[in-house]
Amino acid sequence: MPDSGRPVVQENMLDNAQVMRALERRLVAHIAAGTTDCGAAAMRVSASEYADPARLEAEKRELFRKLPLVAGFSCEIPNPGDVMLFEAAGPSIVVARGRDGTVRAFLNMCMHRGAQVVKECGNRKLMTCRFHGWSYDLEGRLVGMPSEGDFPGEDRDRLRLVQVPAGEWGGLIFVKAHAGEERIDVAAWLGEMAPLIARFNLGGAKPVKSDRIDIDTNWKYALNTYGESYHFGTLHPTTFSPAAFTNTNLYDRLGRHYRVTFSQRAQGDLVGKDESQWPAPPVYGGSHYIFPNTIIYGAPVEGGGTFLHMYRLYPGEAPGKSFTIMSCYRGGDVPASISDDVIAQTHDFIEMVVRTEDYSISAEGQRNLECAPPGHALVFGKNEIALQNVHRDIAEAIGMPLT
């Protein structure tokens, strides 16, 4: 079964409806055959991958401090003067849209005594530290310095906010959680994933709701729950399983990123039917994983348009601690007649399922792995190819081979 992502290359010349029809063909073939996209073999992963403090520190250092991370959607700071905070990766970072429309990011640290300059998101002309009133413009320049005469010899140009790498493309804002003036080439980082993300038209989205879920499990254990449908029938018998087939999904590998497309029960009715009898394909959707920690999921809204969900998973202070920031957005194609409450209700349902089912079982598994005997290993089936490749890619990125 395909696992290389090669079908995605052929999609670049197709519109969204044509792409969804092509994905439906693949799914219907799997439903008819009782199969799923697979890798070549099963794979063992040591329990220490989830419990080793040294590995956790390497992941924080190499993945969450050095690599581009999604700070948010462009629609969260759409106007000049809008600012937001990104603090999940470690340092407090303020992301600001300048008067020229450019997104810049800075350590949220006053150059006087190190206090935070911004405490709340919003729109402003200046960013002013509440400790002593030092003020910075949206480009990070120090423009207000009370009692400046008491700081002889200090040059304002040397007291700019510390810049961090940032970039914006396709409705997504990325930062790196360290000092630097680099402009992140987001399209290059996304690679083959870029045209798929572009299909969501994230620039036309609107934020609706966001929640944080704290979890007693390793961030990778939680991440593993998003990449396969093998568990749908047993873990989600009354929530997701009534609408989706178990162990029947597509997997397209896009460098270190991937797309997983789950099969819907209604698609089972298409088996054996001529395509001329199939209903119009749904809006473009599926689960899009952006290495190392973000999933953007698109699904149709009843009544028209696209529901967008973003999941960002982060390590905690110990191997068995992590948290997820789960945010939902209404697509720009959702009719005005559909209220934000409808989008929020869908978010609340998914948050409940993830928290009480996926993350509950994850916490149980984490406790067991931390007590497992030396040498104990988990087994990922060849039907869990997305999980296999994520673990390989993380191990390669942090320079620590799988054990």
Residue 201 three-state SS: coil
Give the mean model confidence (pLDDT) for residues 163-172.
98
Distance separating alpha carbons of residues 109 and 160, to the nearest angstrom: 10
Q: What CATH number labels 69-183?
A: 2.102.10.10
Distance separating alpha carbons of residues 134 and 145, to the nearest angstrom: 5
The string of pLDDT tens digits covering residues 133-165 is 999 999 999 999 999 999 999 999 999 999 999
Alpha helix ranges (H) inside 121-240: 186-190, 194-198, 219-224, 232-235
pLDDT band at 4 (very low <50, low <70, confident <90, very high): very low
Q: Do domains 6-62+193-398 and 69-183 have the same CATH topology?
A: no
The string of pLDDT tens digits covering residues 282-327 is 999 999 999 999 999 999 999 999 999 999 999 999 999 999 999 9
What average pLDDT is seen over the chain? Answer: 96
**64: pLDDT strictly greater than 90:** yes
Residue 35 three-state SS: coil
Q: What is 82-129 written as a DSSP string?
A: EEEEE-TTSS-EEEEE-TTS-EEEEES--TTT---S--S-EE-S-EE-
Question: Cβ atoms within 10 A of the Cβ of 224, count?
Answer: 24
The string of pLDDT tens digits covering residues 332-368 is 999 999 999 999 999 999 999 999 999 999 999 999 9
Q: Per-domain residue ranges for the chain? A: 6-62+193-398, 69-183
| 83 contact partners, CB below 8 Å, separation of at least 6 | 77, 94, 95, 96, 97, 118, 121, 122, 123, 124, 127, 138
pLDDT band at 403 (very low <50, low <70, confident <90, very high): confident
In percent, how much of the chain has pLDDT > 90?
97
In percent, how much of the chain has pLDDT > 70?
98
Give the mean model confidence (pLDDT) for residues 22-51.
97
CATH topology of domain 6-62+193-398: Naphthalene 1,2-dioxygenase Alpha Subunit; Chain A, domain 1 (3.90.380)
The string of pLDDT tens digits covering residues 233-256 is 999 999 999 999 999 999 999 999
Q: In this predicted structure, what is the pLDDT of residue 397?
A: 98
Among candidate residues 173, 171, 144, 167, the one with its CA nearest the CA of residue 85: 173
Alpha helix ranges (H) inside 228-299: 232-235
pLDDT band at 7 (very low <50, low <70, confident <90, very high): low
Distance separating alpha carbons of residues 96 and 82, to the nearest angstrom: 6
